């Protein structure tokens, strides 16, 4: 396969983005080979990413800081998948919800080691925990907007409390992926996609998916 030549970053912001991309790929490679995030040293991460330890510390205070930064990239990917529904929610099409759920599950599969590490570290690292909650709150906010718009046009149940419903659905999808996907093969993706689609659609919309 031909190698892809990337344009050299010119600004500090671009350089930081390139460093984070390389470290994300390095972290996921190492964790995909069986290493846990807690046992990965800065030296090993830096070496795998093709940089020096000194370069690592130019951009990051420690591994926790790195994990918080990488979380933003990963959740951005998850949100991009969810946009397949959010961006066209006015169409009121259950296939859009299905496409979003399938994309979220695929992104979780792709970033599974890092997301597991993030969930685990959130339990004992207050800064990682705050970042995790903040990112999920951001996603919940986008779901809340979909609910508000749907209630305004009469397609979504008006009796639903917007913020509580959005938060519950967001955490349901996150927990379903986090708890089930690590122990199931890729064949399970379609089952989970169907389950989440039916639950989300059934909770929000006034018409069944078959109508």
HSE (side-chain half, CA atoms, 13 Å) at 160:
28
pTM score, two decimals? 0.85
Handedness of CA 151, 157, 163, 166 (dihedral sign): negative
Question: 10-residue block means of pLDDT along the chain (211 residues)?
Answer: 48 82 90 86 93 91 90 93 95 96 96 87 90 95 97 94 98 95 94 97 82 52
Return d(Cα 209, Cα 211) in angstroms, integer.
Answer: 6
Domains belonging to the chain, first-starting first, are 11-60 (1.10.10.60), 63-204 (1.10.357.10)
What's the residue count for the chain? 211
Q: For residues 107 and 77, is the Cβ–Cβ distance under 8 A?
A: yes
pLDDT for position 172: 97
pLDDT for position 2: 40
pLDDT tens digits, one per residue of 118-168: 888 888 889 999 999 999 999 999 999 999 999 999 999 999 999 999 999
């Amino acid at each position: 396969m031909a190698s892809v030549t990337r344009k050299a970053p010119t600004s500090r912001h671009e350089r930081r983005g390139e460093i984070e991309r390389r470290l994300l790929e390095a972290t996921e490679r190492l964790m995909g080979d069986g290493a846990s995030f807690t046992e990965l040293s800065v030296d090993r991460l830096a070496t795998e990413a093709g940089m020096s330890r000194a370069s690592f510390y130019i951009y990051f205070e420690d591994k926790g800081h790195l994990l918080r930064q990488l979380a933003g990239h990963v959740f951005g990917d998850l949100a991009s998948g969810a946009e397949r529904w959010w961006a066209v929610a006015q169409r009121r099409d259950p296939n859009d919800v299905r496409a979003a759920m399938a994309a979220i599950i695929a992104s979780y599969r792709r970033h599974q080691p890092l997301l597991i590490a993030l969930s685990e570290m959130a339990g004992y690292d207050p800064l990682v925990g705050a970042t995790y909650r903040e990112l999920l709150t951001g996603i919940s906010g986008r779901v809340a907007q979909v609910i508000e718009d749907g209630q305004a046009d009469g397609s979504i149940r008006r009796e639903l409390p917007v913020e509580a419903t959005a938060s519950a659905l967001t955490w349901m999808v996150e927990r379903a992926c986090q708890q089930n996907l690590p122990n199931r093969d890729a064949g399970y993706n379609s089952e989970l996609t169907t389950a989440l689609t039916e639950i989300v659609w059934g909770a929000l919309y006034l018409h069944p998916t078959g109508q």
